[in-house]
Structure 1
Amino acid sequence: MSKTIIGLLREGKIPVDKRTPLTPSQAKAINAAYPDVEVIAQRSEIRCFTDEEYVEAGIRLVDSVEEADILLGVKEVPIPDLIEGKTYFFFSHTIKKQPYNRDLLREILKKNIRMVDYETLTEPSGKRIIAFGRWAGIVGAYNGIWTYGKRYNLFDMRRANECFDLEDLKTEFSKVILPPIKIALTGGGRVTKGAMEVLTGMGIRKVTPHQFCNCYFDFPVYTQLNVRNYNAREDGEAFSRNEFYKSPQNYVGDFLQFTSEADILIAAAFWAPEAPVLFTKEDMTGPDFKTSVIADITCDIEGSIPSTKQPSTIADPVYDYNPSDDEVDPPFTDEGNISVMAVDNLPCELPRDASSSFGQRLADQILPLLLGEDPETVIERATIASEGKLCGRYTYLQDYVDGE
């Protein structure tokens, strides 16, 4: 009986992404656990684990992955590289009808590709199974503190992408010497928990939202804000989390109580376009708007945070937002500006750790379902396209594919 071949793709999207869906040791373990499966790796000069490390683990290197049945990547596969009739796993960034990936989904359908999106791999409850969220939170919070230090010439520490891994990154924490500032952190999921690891590791004390707004501290503090802390029902009735996510248009925002206190905002909460924005550009010019550094991990362009007008890059992580003119300026050019860190591929700054964590979940919780039985139809529910058609819950994307 012929083997099922799983191919690890060489990432082709620009800017480059060094992550991989499976580390050498994970690929080796899969080959050992499944006699009828072989994991191969496409040669890559940018992957965070070298070709030599895969060879040492007994993984066969190839220039072309044509022979593979299942192809695993991380970011979107360049359209010219798509191979007809294959099964692909990667983050397609199509389920929100992102205009820049319409042609990608069209080509997937044209080439009869079975497309499974990591973002849509969920438990029956809807909870995502695998993600890079923790690493986005870790790097995003670190970058936010790094930005504040640069803006006010307080301390000097290495960039996250200059560190070998998380343990190396932690050696920089002791360099952080902050005045008694206040940091607002939004969200409650993996991203937020990753950010809290960094803030706590730097010795920044956590306080309640009430204390944050009403107490003075002579040391740096942060507070974690959930949606109930800054959204209220328009009719004055009690906040309901379930209803908020179901009908966010029934709510109004009240985030200015925190921007009047926060020196740094670390935005890590999911935001839907129907929900209230955190604040407006007019709010940002008000006399009570104190926040001078915004680390927008969500990187929703002109979404809940109007100063996030464009993504920043690992090479150039910060830009200034001029609230008076609603314009982007070079970083740290004017004290009246707000410094924005909005890198849209934060986990890439710690690619070895991020890949290892992601790959372990993929190997332990997804591949057994793909290669064996899947009683809760996890793979089926995450399949966006197959045999030239949109599948199941993703038929809503048809007008997006049609260009309407």
Structure 2
Amino acid sequence: MLKIGIIREDKIPIDKRSPLTPEQCQKMAKHFEVEVKVQESDVRVFRPEEYTQHGIEIVGNINDCDILLGVKEVPNENLIPEKTYFFFSHTIKEQEYNRELLRTILEKKIKLVDYECLLDPKSKQRIVAFGRFAGIVGAYNTIWTFGLRYNLFNIRRAHECFDLADMKTEFDKVKLPAIKIAITGGGRVAKGAMEIMYGMDILQVTPHEFLTERFDRPVFAQLSSHTYHKKKDGTLFNRREFYENPELYEGDFLKYTKVADILIAGAYWDPRSPVLFSREDAMQPEFKTRIIGDITCDIEGSIPSTKRPATVDEPVYDYDPTTDSIEPEFSEESNITVMAVDNLPCELPRDASESFGQEMLDNVLPHLLGDDKYDVIKNATIAENGKLTERFSYLQDFVDGK
């Protein structure tokens, strides 16, 4: 019988999430007729007895398992040779900090399947992700930041709440003035952020109304790519063309920074695309935005104030555009306060794990434990038998250090 192991999350900072909940492990074992083992952990949000109550064995090591499911990158020294691993490897964009991880995977002849590359065969959209909870926690943290910066209210942090339902009990404490909040993106992250806006009774308005009208209550607008990019040659915006050839476009975001008090950034950014604004833009008198929740957390990316990732323990810092430097949070009124935690979903590990695990059951395991006739697993496999797969052969120069 095939053995599947849920590995302990050993990466620092700690992550309490699991790719499957105890109940989902039981469902997987029963429905797909596999044996499931869970590696003991002191940090996982689910207690050992929650697994054993569902008939799942807790073990010290998972060396005898065939397939190993995790969430974050596995430390190099913990990787077991010649196993099949599923986790977010953060290597496909040639991330420098994970070069040694990919080298070790190849040396140990590990089969690596990256969750980020698991796509629906028809739509080519991702079939498993934590994006919704990144948006939920990111937007909540951003509102928390606003409350502290202006001494208006103090709500519990997301990680201090038992789960999402508990966190929602804090919404009534939020008393916002008539501010404007801009949210970029149209995917899971942006939709998660919008859940918080709706939950806090913040009115949604159109981008045009956001720019041109005054309101006596807090409002937000969801901004899609076409609302803040324009074609360099003056012709109309074309969505497909923009994503395929973003260098043909220029940014048109500054009109929003003149009216937005808060920016919540949830849009995917291609390095070939225009930035939202520059350091010089942020120094102009008409630049109004003073709080940025950068859920994308692209360092030195589309938002110049995102100079480094923040942490769950220290979620915000100030950015001084005049010196292009980081300062302590809330230290100067002219600074921009940045919330840029790069592992937001782990602040609500119970709900995030449940949502992710359901997508695993529905969208991934049927391919993994079936015949994979649509090559869903194959196309997400980065390495196998000590070599990069053909689809990811472009990473060879990266592995070689070229």
TM-score, normalization: structure 1?
0.99
Aligned: 1:123 with 2:120: yes
Quote the residue 1:13 is aligned against: 11
Residue among 258, 271, 274 paired with 1:276: 274
Q: Distance in 2 between matches of 1:32 and 1:390?
A: 34
Shift in Å, 1:156: 1.3
Q: Determine the structure 2 residue equivalent to 1:188.
A: 186
23, 39, 43: which one pairs with 2:21? Answer: 23
* 1:272-311 paired onto structure 2 within 5 Å: 272-311=270-309
Q: How far did 1:32 drift?
A: 1.5
Q: Which amino acid aligns with 2:304?
A: P
Equivalent pairs counted in the alignment come to: 401
CA distance in 2, matches of 1:188, 1:272: 15
Among 83, 90, 101, the alignment partner of 2:87 is 90
Shift of 1:304: 0.0
Q: Match of 1:81?
A: 78
CA distance in 1, matches of 2:241, 2:390: 25
Deviation at 1:34, TM superposition (A): 2.6
1:266-319 Cα offsets, whole Å, 9 max, x none, are 000000000000000010000110001000000000100000000000001000
Looking at structure 1, the residues matched to 30 and 222 of structure 2 have their Cα atoms a distance apart, in angstroms, of 44
8 Å Cα contact 1:381/1:392 also seen in 2 = no
| Contact 1:85-1:111 at 8 Å conserved across structures | yes
Which segments of 5 or more consecutive residues in structure 1 lack a partner in the other structure?
none
Match of 2:302, SS? coil
Query: Distance in 2 between the 1:64 and 1:373 partners?
Result: 29
Aligned-partner Cα distance in 1 for 2:155–2:368? 43
Contact 1:347–1:354 at 8 Å: present in 2 too?
yes
* Map of 1:55 onto structure 2: 52
Aligned to 2:252: 254
List 4+ stretches of structure 1 deviating above 6 A: none
How big is the shift at 1:58? 1.1
Distance 2:29 2:399 in 1: 38
Q: How do 1:320-359 and structure 2 match up within 5 A? A: 320-359=318-357
What per-residue deviation string (whole Å, max 9, x for no partner) do you get for residues 55-107 of structure 1?
11111111111000000000000000001100000000000000000000001
Alignment deviations for residues 3-42 of structure 1 (CA, whole Å, 9 cap, x no partner): 111000000100000000010000011111133x111000
Where 2:279 maps in the other structure, the secondary structure is coil
Percent identity at matched positions?
61
CA contact (8 A) 1:8 1:40 kept: yes
Aligned position for 2:387: 389
Q: Which runs of 5+ in 2 are unaligned?
A: none
How far off is 1:385 after superposition? 0.5
SS of structure 1 residue aligned to 2:221: strand
Find the partner of 2:207 among 197, 206, 209.
Answer: 209
Aligned-residue CA RMSD (Å): 0.6
Code of the residue aligned with 1:367 in structure 2: it is: L
| Structure 2 residue identity aligned to 1:383 | T
Match runs of 1:366-381 below 5 Å? 366-381=364-379
TM-score (norm 2): 0.99
d(CA) in 2 for partners of 1:300, 1:261: 24
